[in-house]
Structure 1
Amino acid sequence: MKTDSLFYRIFQTAPAIFFELIGQPTAEGYQFQSVELKQTAFRIDGVFLPPPEAENKTVYFVEVQFQKDSLLYHRLFAELFLFLNQNPSTANWKAVAIYPNPSLEPEQTDLYQPLLESSKVQRIYLNQLSSSSVELGVVELILEPQETAANKAKQLLSQAQQASQLPIAVIMELIETTMVYKFPQLSRQEIVQMLELATESKQTRVYQEGLEDGRQQGLQEGRQEGLEEGRQQGERVLILRQLARKFNQINPQVRSQIELLSLEQLEMLAEVLLDFSSLQDLTNWLEENLRE
Structure 2
Amino acid sequence: MYDSICKFIAIEFSEDIATWLLGKPISLTELKPPELSSEPIRVDSLIFLESDELVLHLEFQTSPDQDIPFRMLDYRVRLYRHDPQKEVIQIVLYLGENRSKLVNQTVFELSKTSHEFEVIRLWEVPPETLLQSKDLWSFAVLSQGKNRETILRQISQKIDEISDPREKSNVTASTAVLAGLVLDQDIIQRLLRKDIMRESVIYQDILSEGREEGREEGREEGREEGRHQEGVNLISRLLNRLIGQIPPNLTQKIHDLSIEQLESLGDALLDFKSEEDLQKWFEENSEN
Q: TM (normalized to structure 2)?
A: 0.53
Report the CA distance shift for 1:47/1:182 in structure 2 as closer, same or farther (over 3 A). closer
8 A contact 1:7–1:64 mirrored in 2? yes
Counterpart residue identity of residue 12, structure 2: T
> 1:210-249, CA deviations, whole angstroms, 9 ceiling, x for partnerless residues?
xxxxxxxxxxxxxxxxx59x93x6438975xxxxxxxxxx
Give unmatched runs, 5+ long, in structure 1: 199-226, 240-263, 270-282
**Number of residue pairs matched?**
208
The residue aligned with 2:207 is: 265
Q: In the alignment, which residue of structure 1 is the partner of 2:46?
A: 46
Q: 1:158 to 1:83 in 2, by over 3 A?
A: same
Q: Residue 155 of structure 1 aligns with which residue?
A: 154
Task: For 2:72 and 2:29, locate their aligned partners in 1 and report how far apart those are by CA, in whole Å.
Answer: 21
Kindly report which structure 2 residues correspond to 1:1-292, keeping only aligned pairs within 5 A, or say none: 1-2=1-2, 4-31=3-30, 37=36, 40-42=39-41, 45-50=45-50, 54=51, 56-85=52-81, 87-88=82-83, 91-100=86-95, 103-105=101-103, 109=107, 111=109, 115-116=115-116, 121-130=117-126, 131=129, 132-135=131-134, 136-142=136-142, 149-159=148-158, 169-170=166-167, 172-183=169-180, 194-195=190-191, 197=193, 227=195, 231=198, 234-235=200-201, 239=205, 265-266=207-208, 268=210, 287-288=215-216, 291=226, 292=229
What is the CA-CA distance between 1:39 and the residue it aligns to? 5.3
In the alignment, the residues of structure 1 paired with residue 103 and residue 192 of structure 2 have an alpha-carbon distance, to the nearest angstrom, of: 38
Q: Does the CA-based 8 Å contact 1:11-1:32 persist in structure 2?
A: no
Q: State the superposition RMSD in angstroms.
A: 4.4
What is the CA-CA distance between 1:72 and the residue it aligns to?
Answer: 1.2
Partners of 1:48 and 1:59 within 8 A in 2? yes
What corresponds to 1:279 in structure 2? none
Instruction: Tell me how far 1:48 sits from its aligned partner.
Output: 3.0
Change (3 A) 1:144 1:107: closer
How far is the alpha carbon of 1:59 from its aligned partner? 1.1
Structure 2 counterpart SS, 1:175? helix
User: Rg larger in 1 or in 2?
Assistant: 2
Residue 126 of structure 1 aligns with an amino acid whose one-letter code is L
Taking structure 1 as reference, are residues 178 and 108 closer, same or farther at Cα in structure 2, changes over 3 Å only?
A: closer
TM-score by length of 1: 0.53
Q: Deviations over 1:253-280 (max 9, x none)?
A: xxxxxxxxxxx532658xxxxxxxxxxx
Q: Cα–Cα, structure 1 residues 289 and 36, in superposed 2: closer, same or farther, change >3 Å? A: farther
Q: 1:93 to 1:12 in 2, by over 3 A?
A: same
Give CA deviations for 1:178-218 in whole Å, capped at 9, x if unaligned. 3135449969xx96x623547xxxxxxxxxxxxxxxxxxxx
Which structure 2 residue ranges, 5 or more long, are not aligned?
219-225, 230-288
What's 2:233 paired with? none
1:70 to partner: Cα distance: 2.2
The question of whether the paired residues in 2 share the 8 Å contact of 1:157 and 1:172 is answered with no
Pairwise CA distance, 1:175: 3.5
Q: How far apart, in 2, do the equivalents of 1:36 and 1:289 lie?
A: 30
Question: Taking every aligned residue pair, what percent have the same amino acid on both sides?
Answer: 13
